[in-house]
């Protein structure tokens, strides 16, 4: 497929992840869906690294597993059939990146979507697990019911983070509509 460069929130999140993740790192995909983000994380951390991939939908985990197996990257990924609000129960070691791609699974019925309550619960835990220099990326979609509320909740949570400990960026594409998906990046300031 022809690259569209940094068009959209997900390619921009990948740009940050490529900059930050190194071989041997640990990372989390909080919403693995069809596995595109999980695959990038698995490739970036390499064989010596570890990725936990969460989703509440069985078919999402199956799609992610197939994608990883096809790319020869399944060995370093733990597939977790659970909501990301249980992140800290599953992941106990510090991580370099946590990726959220909010909303619904493309191509699946839209009744299963991320929600403010569980996303905020997961974000609290993600911020605690994050290593200095680590990043949380959130691709935020506002076009579906509940999306705008969730986006505002994420922004309010991020805005309240201590500026001495975290940097927060909200990235909108300047030549797109105001309702286009956007990216929030939280960096734990390197110590
Ligand atoms: C936009 S899709 C993710 C796309 C995915 N990152 C990819 O590369 O294909 C959002 C996913 O979040 C999942 N989801 C919804 N609520 C969740 C929760 N509480 N915990 C984990 N995943 C959840 C949905 O099932 C859906 O697969």
Q: What is the CATH number of the domain that holds 37?
A: 3.40.50.150
Alpha-carbon distance of 60 to 155, in angstroms, equals 27
Asked whether residue 89 is assigned to any structural domain, the reply reads yes
Asked whether residue 2 is assigned to any structural domain, the reply reads no
Number of structural domains (the chain) is 1
**Residue 1: burial class (beta carbons within 10 Å; 0-12, 13-18, 19+):** exposed
Asked whether residue 71 is assigned to any structural domain, the reply reads yes
Alpha carbon nearest to ligand 1 atom 3, residue: 33
Q: Determine the residue of 43, 53, 59, 60 to mutate for testing ligand 1's pocket, defined as the one with the most ligand atoms within 8 A of the Cβ atom.
A: 60
Tens of pLDDT, residue by residue over 35-59, are: 999 999 999 999 999 999 999 999 9
Q: Taking 80 as the threshold, does the pLDDT of residue 1 lie above it?
A: no
Which of 19-23, 107-111, 112-116, 168-172 shows the lowest per-residue confidence on average (mean pLDDT)? 107-111
Say if strands 130-140 and 50-55 run parallel, antiparallel, or are unpaired.
unpaired
Asked whether residue 107 is assigned to any structural domain, the reply reads yes
Q: Determine the residue of 105, 116, 122 to mutate for testing ligand 1's pocket, defined as the one with the most ligand atoms within 8 A of the Cβ atom.
A: 105
Asked whether residue 3 is assigned to any structural domain, the reply reads no
Tens of pLDDT, residue by residue over 55-109, are: 999 999 999 999 999 999 999 999 999 999 999 999 999 999 999 999 999 888 8
Indicate yes or no: pTM above 0.95. Answer: yes
CA of 21 to the centre of ligand 1 (A): 21
Q: What is the pLDDT of residue 191?
A: 87
Asked whether residue 145 is assigned to any structural domain, the reply reads yes
Average pLDDT over residues 101-119: 92
Q: Is the C-beta atom of 56 inside 6 A of ligand 1?
A: yes
Q: Taking 80 as the threshold, does the pLDDT of residue 18 lie above it?
A: yes
CA of 147 to the centre of ligand 1 (A): 13
Q: Determine the residue of 9, 10, 11, 31 to mutate for testing ligand 1's pocket, defined as the one with the most ligand atoms within 8 A of the Cβ atom.
A: 31
Q: Using an 8 Å Cβ cutoff, are 125 and 87 in contact? A: yes
Alpha carbon nearest to ligand 1 atom 16, residue: 114
Alpha-carbon distance of 148 to 142, in angstroms, equals 4
Which range of residues forms the domain containing residue 57?
9-188
Tens of pLDDT, residue by residue over 139-176, are: 999 999 999 999 999 999 999 999 999 999 999 999 99
pLDDT confidence bin for 130, thresholds 50/70/90: very high
pLDDT confidence bin for 2, thresholds 50/70/90: confident
For tokens 């993600």, the residue is: 126
């Amino acid at each position: 497929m022809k690259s569209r460069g940094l068009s959209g929130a997900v390619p921009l999140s990948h740009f940050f992840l490529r900059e930050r993740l190194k071989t041997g790192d640990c990372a989390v995909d909080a919403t693995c869906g069809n596995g595109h983000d999980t695959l990038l994380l698995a490739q970036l951390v390499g064989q010596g690294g570890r990725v936990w991939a969460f989703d509440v939908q069985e078919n999402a985990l199956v799609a992610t597993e197939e994608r990883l197996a096809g790319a020869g990257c399944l060995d370093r990924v733990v597939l977790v059939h659970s909501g990301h609000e249980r992140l800290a129960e599953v992941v106990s070691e510090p991580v370099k990146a946590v990726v959220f791609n909010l909303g619904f699974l493309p191509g699946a019925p839209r009744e299963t979507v991320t929600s403010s309550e569980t996303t905020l619960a997961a974000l609290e835990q993600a911020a605690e697990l994050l290593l200095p220099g680590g990043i949380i990326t959130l691709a935020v979609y506002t076009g579906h019911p509940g999306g705008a509320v969730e986006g505002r909740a994420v922004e309010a949570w991020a805005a309240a983070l201590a500026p001495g400990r975290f940097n927060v960026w909200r990235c909108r594409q300047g030549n797109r509509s105001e309702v286009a998906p956007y990216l929030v990046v939280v960096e734990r300031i390197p110590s």
